[in-house]
Structure 1
Amino acid sequence: MKEELHIQFENCFGIGKLDHLFDFSISNSYLIYAPNGTMKTSFAKTFDLISKNDSKQKPSDRIYKNRITKYEVLIENKEINPEDILVINAEDNNFDASSKISSFLASKELKQEYDSIYKELNDNKVEFIKKLKIISQSTDCETEFINTFSEDENANFFEVLNQQIINLKAKFEKFDFRYNDVFDRKGNVKKFLDKNKTILDQYINDYKNIISKSRFFKDSTDNTFGTYQANVIIKSIEDNSFFQAGHKFVLEDGTEIENVENLKSIIQDEIQNILNDEKLKASFEKVDKAIGANAELRSFKNVLEKNNLILIKLKDYEKFKQEIWINYFSEIKEEAIELLDFYKSKKARLEKIISDAKKEFTLWKNIVTTFNSRFHVPFKVNIINQEDIILKQETANLNFDYSDRGKEPIKQTRDNLLSILSKGEQRAYFILHFLFEIEARKLKQSRDLLIFDDVADSFDYKNKFAIIEYIKEIHEKNDFKVIILTHNFDFYRTITSRLYLNRDVIYMTTKNSENEITLHKGEYVNDVFSYFIKKFKKEKFFISLIAFVRNLIEYSESKNNQDYLILTSCLHRKEESENLLAKDIFKIFQKKLIFLKDKAIDFGEENLIQLIIKTADSIKSDDSNEIALENKICLAVAIRLETEKYLINKLPDFDLKAINKNQTQVLFKEYCKKYPDSQNSLKIDKVNLMTPENIHINAFMFEPLIDMSMIHLMNLYKEIKSLN
């Protein structure tokens, strides 16, 4: 059964027009080699915007905005679902798929039950937090409460509440200040208290000195009897029933108290005595002056102006913070107990779900393990708080341990890690996130379309083969439809061989003057040199072999080798060049290439230079294959020879024998000296820019040749021919 993907793009970024049909019933994967500037980025970007389905971000021609854009992608004649497209681009540093880990709960029933329980718990917690916020006036009750009682940043609200529930009180103290006015998020109050410890200690000592003389309040090493304790007593006897029963209070100095009003009066007098104490006032003025110098403490200053005795509590900042929260929660103690009971009733089932899920929850662990073993990078990845990922339904925390030179690993944050990694190492990091996304999409079982956009670019060879191995595994399964884009010729050939791709699913792209894109059958997936040798009887291939064999002699023998020098004469106008015959060159081929030892050519008697020019003319006049390497090599050699012919004619007195290397460059410099105003200099300069890589095929890397436009080479050949 066919599974056809039909793409029709018009005026999508750099693509003028592209109309192509991919049949994924014959292969899970297609490979497209696109030379730089052809269509790769525009193709990937168009698919990426289709996948995002954002009405404000659509494919278009960003320069000529009046051009009508078309971006139609059909699967079996039906419009593709944007959610079924994923463009994998390792340059996309905004992509984060770690949240996909929670979707690896393979059992749909478990996931649904978990989601239901979690929603109930969360809804109840939200309602409780609303009440708590009214009491505390804190900007973030949940976080503040957790951080007050736990140093674990991933602590669970319910578990912290469970630890503190026994400390909640039936009788609680109310505070008349906003929580964040004293316990501010930036920690300015804490910094102030630490910085001004001396004057605060003076204030507290003066306070204790006054208390020691009070007939009512007392402060001892073990316990304190202060305003809070006095108010508790007043509340408990406010209806006077205590006194009506015949009881009374007798203070330490013998003073008898027989009614509530009398008690209140004594307490108020004692408080005023404390507040009006001149020494204590002087101590507080020092504190007040220090606060006044800090604009960020304005709210805290207002709190102290209402009740400066709060400074006594702030002597132990963290303890007072805990005391505050215990009193807040005590005010809604019944609701807190009810919420905690509900959590406990659901917790057992949640733990059972997690236990069951763990049996099916090894996939993401395997991703991390495989990544760590395959990719050669200076960090190891871990996923921390694994159970919390489910329990709290939060994004997974990826933990990175960086290590080099055999030192102990040091944990790094994401941002810090990326700042120290090389470009290739950063790409490996981002690939990890796409691996999570791909695994999560497998669960959909919808054969999503994956577009790999030069994912191995900037990788070293170890990491390049690591990502190729991933792609191979995806290709061999039936989970996805895959299109692999690259402008890296080595990657193109490696993918072809590693994935055992059929030639029918391998393409090379070309672009005409209207930016219309054509996908041609892929070439040069095997050894190009061997291919040329087998085609030696055709002039184009014979001429192309000159550069190959010359390089072969250079690598295996010496530049002083006579055969090397003769082949060099084929690429430059030397005295001996004009007399060389094709058969002279073929004899060298036969000596160096065993396959040609007993072979013959039909054009052996032809003058070599004339053969090269004639062959280049035939290529120029044909509607030539844009991709064919042999065409480009022949044109490049002919361009060089015609250029040197022109330069030598213009420099009749110049001694060619004096040139040891870089003949074209040397001649060009002499030409520029003699004809500084010549308009032809620009044309000749283009020869130096465009042809060296095509003639000197160093290391047999053919990417420069394939990327070179045939149109540009043919136009340059015409220009240079016109000079002569």
Structure 2
Amino acid sequence: MTVKVSVNFTNCYGIDALAHTFDFSNNNMPVLVYAPNGVMKTSLAKTLKQYANNKEPEDIFFPERESTFRIFDETGAALDRQSIFVIDPIDEKYQSARISTLLASEDLKSRYDQIFGSIAEKKDGLLKNLRKSSGLTKDIDLSIADAFKVKKEDVLVALARLEREVREGAHSAFSVLKYKVLFSDKVIDLLQNADVKALIDDYTKIYEQILDQSSYFKKGVFNHSNAETIAKNLKANGWFDGGHSVNLNHDGERSEIKTDGDLISAIEGEKDRILKDPKLAEMFQKVDGTLTTAELRSFRDYLIENPFVVAELSDIDALKQKVWISYLIENGHEYFELIEEYDSSKEKIRAIIAEAEKEQTQWEAVIALFNDRFSVPFKVQVENKGDAVLNVSAPQIAFYVDDRGGGAARKMDRAILDRGLSNGEKRALYILNIIFEVEARRKAGIETLVVLDDIADSFDYKNKYAIVEYLSDMRANEDFHLIILTHNYDFYRTVRGRLGVYGENKLLSNRLNGALQLIPDSLSDNPFSGWKKNLTDPVVLVASIPFVRNLAEYVGNEVVFGQLTALLHVKDRTKTVSVGELFGMYQSVLAEGSFANFNSLKGAVFDLLMTACIEICEVEDDNLSLEQKIALSIGIRLLAEELLISKINDPVYVANIGNNQTGKLIRKYEKLGGCDAGVLRTIKRVALMTPENIHLNSFMFEPILDMSGHHLKSLFAETRACVDA
């Protein structure tokens, strides 16, 4: 079993360089990667997907740069491309190619194959002969299906229904025609032309008028094709050799025919008399005049050699069927062997299909799992289970939408269903196909590296937890090794807890000197518990202020809440609150002994904060910790408010601001007019990046962790420069 997978990429979809080893050796623990938007998540997934699809990587924006990638296991061997399965955030067109492998009963399939194998062998023999007769080299099943208006899989049923016509030898005269020439795309297009159709209709009317005057033939009852069939049968059965004769009726007079040669001569003579009629010959020339292109030359030659065909062109669908029947007559031995085998096996096949319909398949297990776990306004069913189990056709998934009015669920076409679903519901439907693929790989025992790119985006909580539950199911199978990529910190935290991901398998993405890094996430599930023990670190101390401030608000300590607010917004005492005073505030909110004594720190908290922010900005690595990002955000806001207050220069207005101070200061500054463009641009960036990041709530981690360390450092320096200017 693979326990480690290493990647080495350069210039792949925005990844300048990445070298990392994903370790699954600890009880097949998944690797969980939190990557802020734009850092690397989708680039990594795309590169691995290219590898899985046997394609070369590329750098889309700088295609002139050479792209390389290696993916190998702990032995150094390249990973099998088929063993990588990349799951995109959503692909509405995706369908698992392995769904038909989820069979419940190999015994039924074996019995079906045994019965149908003999039928298939005889069918192949007949089709081989039909290829010679028709001139078609491929898709002969499709051509027969088209002629008899059936599905391709129902060709055998259609052939069986022709048994009587084949036995009677109807239409045998058409066997000399080549289907490929007679019904080429060019010919069909020609016959759809209104002028050509009119000519053929006129030809047919004249032909039928002459036929009505025939000595031997009668329209719709006995034509030259019937006569030729009788002549062949009489000769084949030794009728004339046995001393028998036939009488032909001509205007009430009978003429006796005593040899097969005389009979054939009489038929040919009457046929020539009809086809060489001057009026008919004139119409034929008009039809012939439309066949001027090189592509239609073969068709023209066929009509010259077989002018009786022209009258059949008025009903092209009927002619197609007559030609196929004539081929079957010509290959009667093979045809009747096939039909006999098919008829004798039908009941056995029906019995097996009936058993297959009762089988509990893995499709149903997947569908039951989906219907039970995911919250969507439709239910899923497999409709053609019998045929699908026997691999006669692919499984057909049907969707039924519940009637909120209490009526019966309505079957819904997939295209209509898509129009009525939300993005989250469409994603759930996509997940159904993903589950089919995973279960097929599980059944086949295919060891797979599964890479999931933000699989839970747009989901509500119920469906998000359904995904996490299924990931847990996958993790329990040692054949699946999971790399889970997400930019959603709430999802990251949920997966981390529910799948038991810890240590170096929980990773954060980081850029350093252009290269991408995946570094262990040192953040615990509850960072505040660690912070309380490390408050002598100025950065940690400052970062803890929003936490303690919110606790003071929750417990109703309005005095401390107001005092701590003065350290997050510029108030009268913002720059003079000392560390000693801050310690007293903490004592009034936090239980004695539950946090570290930080009285060793001296001076004003504001000065401590600014010094900490300056030191953070001097760090070369852009991978900042949560506490560093919070400290920078507080520092940026205080500098911005200080700048705005000085520009507004209205102490009374500022003193009366009760809440949302930063936003109100920005709007006041904009209304004053004559704003400094550089200052306004900086302040707008502050409003965009910091206001919601400093308050404690259930989602506080995600926005601030998503914030680039480089951007925060740059914004602090920019705001500080505006204040100093």
TM-score bracket, normalised by the shorter chain, equals: 0.7 to 0.9
Q: Give me the whole-angstrom Cα distance separating, in 2, the residues matched to 1:360 and 1:627.
A: 57
* Contact residue 639 and residue 717 of structure 1 kept, 8 A: yes
Q: Which residue of 1 aligns with 2:709?
A: 710
Residues in 1 aligned to 2:242 and 2:672: alpha-carbon distance in whole angstroms: 124
Give the secondary structure class of the aligned counterpart of 1:24: coil
**Structure-2 residue corresponding to 1:613:** 610
Q: Do structure 1's residue 443 and structure 2's residue 431 form an aligned pair?
A: no
Match of 1:574 in 2: 571
Q: Give 1:709's aligned amino acid.
A: S
- Shift of residue 617, structure 1, vs aligned partner: 4.0
In the aligned structure 2, how far is the partner of 1:213 from the partner of 1:446?
A: 75
Partner of 1:36: 37
Deviation of 1:512 (Å): 1.4
Letter aligned with residue 37 of structure 1: G
- What is residue 4 of structure 2 aligned with on the other side? 5
Q: Distance in 2 between matches of 1:453 and 1:300?
A: 57
Worse-matched range after superposition: 132-141 or 406-415: 406-415
Distance 1:166 1:609, change over 3 A: same
Could you tell me the percent identity over the aligned residues?
29
CA separation in 2, counterparts of 1:572 and 1:209? Answer: 104
| Residue type at the aligned position of 1:32 | V
> CA offset at residue 705 of structure 1?
0.7
Q: Is the 8 A contact 1:672 1:681 kept in 2?
A: no
Distance 2:231 2:304 in 1: 25
CA shift digits 1:83-110 (9 cap, x unpaired): 3222222434564324442254675x98
Partner of 1:365: 364
365 and 236 in structure 1: CA distance in 2 versus 1, 3 angstrom threshold: closer
User: Residue 692 of structure 1 corresponds to which residue in structure 2?
Assistant: 691
Aligned to 2:507: 507
Residue 637, structure 1, aligned to residue 634, structure 2: yes
Deviation at 1:410, TM superposition (A): 5.9
Post-superposition Cα deviations, 1:603-634, rounded to whole Å, max 9, x if no partner, equal 49853423432443454456789352222111
Any idea what SS the aligned residue of 1:525 has?
coil
Map Cα deviations across residues 539-561 of structure 1 (whole Å, 9 max, x no partner).
54453344356667889999xx8
Deviation at 1:639, TM superposition (A): 1.8
User: Aligned to 2:428, what secondary structure does the other structure show?
Assistant: helix
CA deviation digits over 1:671-716, x for unaligned, max 9?
Answer: 982545x5x6655554334322323456534212112222332343
One-letter code of the match for 2:523?
E
Give the conservation status (yes or no) of the 8 Å contact 1:3–1:25: no
Q: Does 1:226 align with 2:223?
A: yes
Report the more deviating stretch, 329-338 or 131-140: 131-140
The residue that corresponds to 1:22 in the other structure is 23
Aligned to 1:169, the other structure's residue is in SS state helix
Change (3 A) 1:241 1:438: closer
Q: How far 1:440 sits from its partner (Å)? A: 1.8
Residue of structure 2 equivalent to 1:484: 484
Structure 2 partner of 1:49: 50
CA distance 1:146–1:722, shift in 2 (3 Å):
closer
Q: Which residue of 2 aligns with 1:463?
A: 463
Tell me whether 14-23 or 453-462 shows the greater mean CA deviation. Answer: 14-23
Give the TM-score of the pair, scaled to structure 2.
0.79
Report the equivalent of 1:128.
126
In 2: Cα distance, 1:425 partner to 1:194 partner: 49
Q: Aligned partner of 1:382: which letter? A: Q
Q: Is the 8 A contact 2:380 2:398 kept in 1?
A: yes
How much does 1:450 deviate?
1.7
Distance 1:6 1:305, change over 3 A: closer
Q: 1:617 to 1:466 in 2, by over 3 A?
A: same
Q: 1:663-678, aligned counterparts within 5 Å?
A: 663=664, 665-666=666-667, 669=670, 673-676=674-677
Q: CA separation in 1, counterparts of 2:591 and 2:64?
A: 57
How far did 1:370 drift?
A: 1.8
* Corresponding residue of 2:426: 426
Deviation at 1:397, TM superposition (A): 3.2
Question: Which deviates more, 131-140 or 464-473?
Answer: 131-140
The residue type paired with residue 226 of structure 1 is: N
Shift of 1:171: 4.5
Amino acid aligned to 1:460: D
Deviations 1:348-403 (A, max 9, x none): 99889889988986212211222233333344433343333354555433334456
1:136 deviates by 2.4
Q: Which amino acid aligns with 1:480?
A: F
Q: Secondary structure at the match of 1:101?
A: helix
Amino acid at match of 1:242: F
Structure 1: how far apart are the matches of 2:621 and 2:266?
110
Write the letter of the residue equivalent to 1:694.
Answer: N
Q: Give the letter aligned to residue 130 of structure 2.
A: L
CA contact (8 A) 1:380 1:400 kept: yes
Once residues 479 and 396 of structure 2 are traced to their aligned partners in structure 1, the CA distance between those partners, rounded to angstroms, is: 27
- Partner AA of 1:39 in structure 2: M
Q: Shift in Å at residue 331 of structure 1? A: 0.8
1:276-301 Cα offsets, whole Å, 9 max, x none, are 6688789x689959989999999888
Give the alignment's TM-score, normalised by structure 1. 0.79
In the TM superposition, residue 22 of structure 1 has moved relative to its aligned partner by: 0.8
- Note the 1:374-453 alignment, pairs <5 A: 374-389=373-388, 391-392=390-391, 394-401=393-400, 418=418, 421-445=421-445, 447-453=447-453
In structure 2, distance between residues paired with 1:265 and 1:39? 85
Residue 24 (structure 1) shift: 2.5
SS in structure 2 at match of 1:508: strand
Indicate conservation of the 8 Å contact 2:357/2:385, yes or no. no
Most deviating of 304-313 and 443-452: 304-313
Residue-by-residue CA offset, 1:302-326 (whole Å, 9 max, x unaligned):
8667666557656776555444322
Counterparts of 2:118 and 2:517, CA distance in 1: 55
Say if 1:85 and 1:449, in contact at 8 Å, map to a contact too.
yes
Secondary structure, in 3 states, of the residue corresponding to 1:511?
strand
Work out the CA distance in 1 between the residues paired with 2:271 and 2:67. 82
Q: Give 1:422 shift.
A: 4.1
Stretch deviating more after TM superposition (310-319 or 456-465): 310-319
Q: Is the 8 A contact 2:122 2:338 kept in 1?
A: yes
CA distance in structure 2 between the aligned counterparts of 1:292 and 1:134, rounded to whole angstroms: 26
**Per-residue displacement from partner, 1:102-152 (whole Å, max 9, x unpaired)?**
254675x98789889878865664453232022123563212324545645
Bigger mean CA deviation after superposition, 39-48 or 62-71: 62-71
Name the residue aligned to 1:544: 543
Cα drift, residue 517 of structure 1: 0.4
Q: Which moved more, 1:539-548 or 1:489-498?
A: 539-548
Write out per-residue CA displacement over residues 629-678 of structure 1, whole angstroms, 9 at most, x where no aligned residue: 222111111122223334545665776527744155247647982545x5
**Residue matched to 2:215:** 215
8 Å CA contact retained: 2:167, 2:329:
yes
Preserved contact between residue 90 and residue 430 of structure 1 (Cα < 8 Å): no
Assess, with a 3 A threshold, how the Cα gap between structure 1 residues 251 and 633 changes in structure 2: closer, same or farther: same
- Counterpart secondary structure, 1:251: strand
Distance 1:286 1:664 in 2: 93
Matches of 1:279 and 1:446 in 2, distance apart?
Answer: 74
Q: Give me the whole-angstrom Cα distance separating, in 2, the residues matched to 1:224 and 1:481.
A: 74
User: How many aligned positions are there?
Assistant: 709
Shift of the alpha carbon at 1:213?
3.9
- Structure 2 unpaired stretches of 5+: none
Matched residue type, 2:713: M
Equivalent residue letter for 2:46: K
Asked if the contact 1:190–1:317 (Cα under 8 Å) also holds between the matched residues in 2, the reply is no
Q: 1:66 to 1:293 in 2, by over 3 A?
A: closer
- Mapped to 2, the partners of 1:196 and 1:556 lie a distance apart of 92
In structure 1, the residue corresponding to 2:62 is in which secondary structure? coil
CA 1:700–1:268: 2 relative to 1, 3 Å: closer
Give the conservation status (yes or no) of the 8 Å contact 1:15–1:43: no
Which range moved further: 636-645 or 267-276? 267-276
